[in-house]
Structure 1
């Protein structure tokens, strides 16, 4: 596997590793953008209004139970005759990936809003905040850790599952798995598995680091007062 990865021939051309990584990330983030555009507003609405909570559980569980490969083949059979270009395979792949990414984003967004401290919401309402202002200035900032956690989970699932695009003749790192199996080239298959794992690990660490920068320090206790040396005596109380 290491010899295969170190071969310069595998790092250039239309079937080279950089091209496959680009295609893999393209499928991943196209699906992520659409899933987030659908799931985040819906999760915010249900969490803020407390209406349709049953929809969250039912929709999330049903989408998680869908068989990925079976649904992909079904969508290709239904959608492919309507296109004469590569969209015949790209659209079904994106639909499957979008359906996979919606549940973690939707459930975490809803859970993040519903777990906001009721005292903070009541204080904002007492100060004259209207409903939308409470949502955008109180609930969303407080729910941001869980929302980002849902996006992080969705990215990991998409990176690991985007390999199915190669099953219907598209690109991505799944090509190394599919072509390696067809050629009985186990070094290629192992290299593809390692590259997918490394890609998922890099984005997991990157999103985790970015989340610490985006979330308010008051929610993560990332301020100097919270990290005060316990050996120092407490400050005297003041009126």
Structure 2
């Protein structure tokens, strides 16, 4: 039986509907995939933002000064600890060189430090810094090179304020020196001995009073031997 125009129309209509249906399926799948990609991208950004926030919080709330400076000593980045420890606003620090914050007598050491860290890749020790109010503070630092494509591009570091520790050590040394001088110059025979009589220390007057040629000779004797009877020492 010959094909009529009506048959052709219905065949075309059914085929068109099928194609349209397939097109909608493809569109729906594409939209779903795009939504998944967008959702994944949103989650990735949220994770990155959260990580960045955690890093920034850690960076700015640690007690030590964390910083990055160029290979020539220009300060490029620093955390909030610099304000707490030295009194400078961060904007007063960025773009300045380390040289600007060193007391004049230490300026010549900067070039040596910059050469050493580029040669060795790391450097550590103590540095004296001038605070905003003029106070001189001592920091212990640990620095290392930042590399990109195996090429040194900057220096990162961390510095801890050890001023109080150094002041306490200096006072202790001064106290020990005063005691040593008093001990050695005192005209009274001063000595330190264990309960069993072993002489641990003595001053020149002690050695002279007991007839020793020197303090070193006195240290070779037991204090109990200086008594006529050991029982007198034990009493």
Taking structure 1 as the reference length, the TM-score comes to 0.19
Greater relative contact order (Cα 8 A, min sep 6): structure 1 or 2?
1
Q: Which has the higher strand share?
A: 2
Q: Which has the larger radius of gyration?
A: 2
Taking structure 2 as the reference length, the TM-score comes to 0.20
Q: Which has the higher helix share?
A: 1
